[in-house]
Copies of this chain bind each other. A is one copy, B any other.
Amino acid sequence: MPPTAPAKRAPRAAPTRTNDPERTTANILEVATHAFADKGFDGARIDEIAEAMHTSKRMIYYYFGSKEALYLAVLEGAYQRMRAAEATLDLDALPPAKALEALVGFTHDYQLANPDFVRLVANENMLHGAFLKQSKTIREQNASAITTVQRVCERGVRDGVFRGDLDPIDLHMSISALCFFNVANRYTFSLIFERGPTLPKSAVAKRRERIVEMVLRFALK
């Protein structure tokens, strides 16, 4: 018998009536984020999300209207949290090389600590960016994202520590690529090592070091 269906009238855990819209939506988003990150948009099931929530499944439609709208909200939330974390970095206070190092380190650490975000982005690419296109919010945030790298680059070039032909967008891409891959391609890559998808702590630290070094070697004169 499928776990999703009521199947024989066992109406499960008693959906705690919160009477608190904010808590309810937050709970839905949290559960949905895990679900969409874990299974992707097509693989995730509204029923399963409902099962893992504290409120009833009907609430998803009450507050979000559709699976697509819920997914969009999840995606926007994930991007927003990432940008918020990024915003705490005060790169301008650091000399360019240190700033770049900090940026790469942050990117690496954040993605490692937030595989849900990484997987949501990977899934969004599987969907040809269908939802991202719809989101004004994310587009605006991303626009500002590139200026962060840009400012570091400019300062570095001006100070003569970075090579003159440094392209911020290209650099941003390289940083993202190196950090993203660790998390996003865990499962296929780990086959080479013949071990589990998550690296031991020491290997993670080593990998982090090398990514930072790779980017800096490339940027420095």
Closest to A129 in B: B187
Interface size class on chain A is 35 or more
Copies of this protein, total: 4
B63 in contact with A6 (CB, 8 Å): yes
Q: Which residues of B contact A2 (CB under 8 A)?
A: 65-66
Q: Which of B9, B122, B132, B206 contacts A7 (CB 8 A)?
A: B9
A192 in contact with B169 (CB, 8 Å): yes
Tell me if A128 counts as interface (CB < 8 A to partner B): yes
Given contacts A7-B7, A7-B63, contact A206 B170 (CB under 8 A): yes
The stretch from A83-91, A93-101, A212-220 touching chain B is A212-220
Tell me if A55 counts as interface (CB < 8 A to partner B): no
A177 in contact with B169 (CB, 8 Å): no
Q: Which of B42, B121, B213, B215 contacts A42 (CB 8 A)?
A: B42
Q: Which are the 10 A-B pairs with shortest beta-carbon distances?
A: A129-B187, A177-B181, A7-B65, A42-B42, A7-B7, A1-B65, A42-B43, A214-B218, A125-B187, A217-B217
